[in-house]
Amino acid sequence: MSTKDAPTRAAKSLAGDPPRILVIQAPYYADVVGGMLAGARGVLEGVGASLEVVDVAGAFEMPAALRMALGAPDRWDGFLLLGCVVKGETDHYDFICASVCQGAMTVAAEYGAPLGFGLLTVASLDQAIARSRADQHNKGAEAAHAVLGQVTLARRWHFSHWARR
């Protein structure tokens, strides 16, 4: 699917209180991540969600920050990771992207944490900018829709918070 064919999504209708979402962002590419956050904020505030935003040093730190956040029982209903890694001349990109993706998936799957994953892994800054604009291609907005879907499932299934395991 090309970016011109990006699907449009309606805001989720959530039962219960407005969700509390923790956004963990790695703002190394501040304009890109800021654009993704604006897209996510539009989706989340559209359903009355409250957001808390924290910065980490880089994408590599996001999974550990997510795991630390899970130690605060009942503080958040879901989590959103936002960041960007642009391919350079070395293998560093491959190691960072694989580690962050696997780390986030491992934490979310093990603890059942509702997660929206918005890490851009791109070949150029132009690609990142195209995915962080204020339009239907905004990957922050897509990740926000994903976390709302996960929160909806957790509520539907009366899933206990991860810290009570």
**Residue 115: pLDDT over 60:** yes
59 known ligand binder: yes
Taking only the tens place, the pLDDT of each residue in 128-145 is 999 999 999 999 999 999
> Does residue 137 have an active-site annotation?
no
Fold of the CATH domain 17-160 = Rossmann fold (3.40.50)
Q: What is the pLDDT of residue 165?
A: 46
Q: What is the pLDDT of residue 15?
A: 81
Q: How far apart are CA 78 and CA 150, in angstroms?
A: 8
85 known ligand binder: yes
61 known ligand binder: yes
Contact 74, 19 (CB under 8 A): no
Q: How far apart are CA 106 and CA 89, in angstroms?
A: 28
Q: What kind and span of H or E run contains 156?
A: helix 139-156
117 known ligand binder: yes
Question: What burial letters (b/e) apply to 108-129, b meaning 16+ CB within 10 Å?
Answer: beebbbbbbbbbbbbeeeebbb
Q: Which of 92, 137, 158, 161 does the annotation list as catalytic? A: 92
**Residue 11: pLDDT over 90:** no
Query: Domain limits of the chain?
Result: 17-160
Q: What is the pLDDT of residue 5?
A: 57
Q: pLDDT class for 1, splitting at 50, 70, 90?
A: very low
Taking only the tens place, the pLDDT of each residue in 51-74 is 999 999 999 999 999 999 999 978
- Residue 91 CA to chain centroid, in angstroms? 24
60 known ligand binder: yes
Mean pLDDT on 107-134: 96
